[in-house]
Structure 1
């Protein structure tokens, strides 16, 4: 019972995807049923329904590594947003995460809740999206991703992300087309593109510099010219952001990255320029 609402919490299963999709549509999220299926392959969560099975809330956690978990897919219907449902769900999720460092990307509506739970605010994530109107000339260092690049991509991603998100990255690689920057026989940057929401999303994008991030993103812009594309980034200026704006992908919305736990190490030669999905980072 949350105030006057009798709600039944249960563990999410694939059978709940139609109702979870209904819930996300009700609050204006772009996620398809297939995007929920991806989330359930990577994490677990709880789901609130009323006595006749109508969806009212959800929350998930993703065990990225032994020392890191991400929290996401936290939704409450407007009817419950002021009644403590989100806090109750988060308490249940945090009881499952153990002693891991925690991260999440907070909407404006949930920011104060996470702050009250001890999460510290970090950088803003800018959601660039729209119809691609232009694309840059090809960079000769960039080529299509091959299966024999996967080990190098995992190693590069681990340095940039600060944890080996093996399961998540393998899933993204399985469902994506990719580009890499190869210099002197070594992969120094990559970008993946896959179906998501209204169209396609490019992410993760990992590179050493903004120029390299722009270069490895360029072929995906060219492929999707005239179509909808989304890229979520914490960058606010430089070659990479200039490319997104020039290609028709303006910043439309924001969330705030928040963390609880120990600071993560920074590698100066590997940087996450775009998120895979907001729930995972």
Structure 2
């Protein structure tokens, strides 16, 4: 441990970061790592020049940030590396309130650092789902997303999350297939389908009504039923049981935690029905 140093992660470290995530059985591809790093900042722990730990954080405006990708090599776990990586990320984030999704293994550390549990996220996935036909509510229609929809997406997302995720949304718009739910000529919800991990992820999905979210997600499920699909949904979304009925069983659950102020969201406004991913929220 005498030769352990910490420094910023760069593009030259991504192959090692990818190998590290594989070593702990996380599904992230090299492309996922590139996406992660371009949106935020990474810190690496290096022992004798070898990457043995990672931590990342992503600014969401001036008031909030998310923290994730806290990974330590299996042979070095329990030696305080994760604590140092978290301390570095928290220091770099400054006065921002922090949000993260914690595995059961990471939960004790985050509690010691002052994070409080505020919810949970359920991971649903399967290869070759058998979804039922899902229709959109009356008076609504689905259409492909266009770049002209960007302001409406930003507004809905900000209301749903209470945070500024403009950079992440812009990156997703450029790289994913998007669907918009339109009602009375206005954008009332949206969802994305993009490569992630072992196959594809559906998210983020933002909508006001649960039936709107089902229509958006269900459209992707039916179109891509032969692919490996993953959907991460907040417990309060009400979609977990529905996804199981669609042939995507729950395979894991993580705890959503906040350090500082919890983002403000209106109860009668739009909600997050599926995540970008567990790191970014």
Report the TM-score range of the alignment, normalised by the length of the smaller protein: over 0.9
Distance 2:87 2:264 in 1: 27
Q: Which residue of 2 aligns with 1:104?
A: 100
Deviations 1:224-253 (A, max 9, x none): 112110000113674x33431122111101
Which deviates more, 187-196 or 263-272? 263-272
Distance 1:237 1:180 in 2: 19
Deviations 1:153-204 (A, max 9, x none): 1111111011121111100111111111111011111111100000000110
**Structure 2: gaps spanning 5 or more residues:** none
Question: Secondary structure of 2:75's partner?
Answer: coil
Please give the residue correspondences for 1:10-21 in structure 2 after superposition, counting only pairs within 5 Å.
10-21=7-18
Please give the residue correspondences for 1:1-281 in structure 2 after superposition, counting only pairs within 5 Å.
4=1, 6-51=3-48, 53-131=49-127, 132-139=129-136, 141-235=141-235, 238=238, 240-267=239-266, 268-281=268-281
Q: State the number of aligned residues.
A: 276
Q: For residues 5 and 126 of structure 1, do their structure 2 counterparts lie closer, same or farther at Cα, with a shift above 3 Å needed?
A: farther
Contact 1:57 1:74 in 2 (8 A): yes
What TM-score results when the alignment is normalised by the length of structure 1? Answer: 0.94
RMSD of equivalent CA atoms: 1.4
Question: Secondary structure of 1:141's partner?
Answer: strand
Contact 1:57 1:76 in 2 (8 A): yes
Q: CA deviation at 1:86?
A: 0.5
Contact 1:232 1:274 in 2 (8 A): yes
Distance 1:102 1:73 in 2: 14
Contact 2:134 2:214 in 1 (8 A): no
Distance 1:269 1:42 in 2: 27
**Structure 1: gaps spanning 5 or more residues:** none
Distance 2:99 2:235 in 1: 18
Deviations 1:42-99 (A, max 9, x none): 1112111211x33210001101111111101100122222111101111111111111
Contact 2:135 2:215 in 1 (8 A): yes
Distance 2:131 2:56 in 1: 37
Distance 2:93 2:250 in 1: 32
Contact 1:177 1:194 in 2 (8 A): yes
What TM-score results when the alignment is normalised by the length of structure 2? Answer: 0.94
Contact 2:147 2:173 in 1 (8 A): no
Distance 2:100 2:217 in 1: 25
Question: Secondary structure of 1:190's partner?
Answer: strand
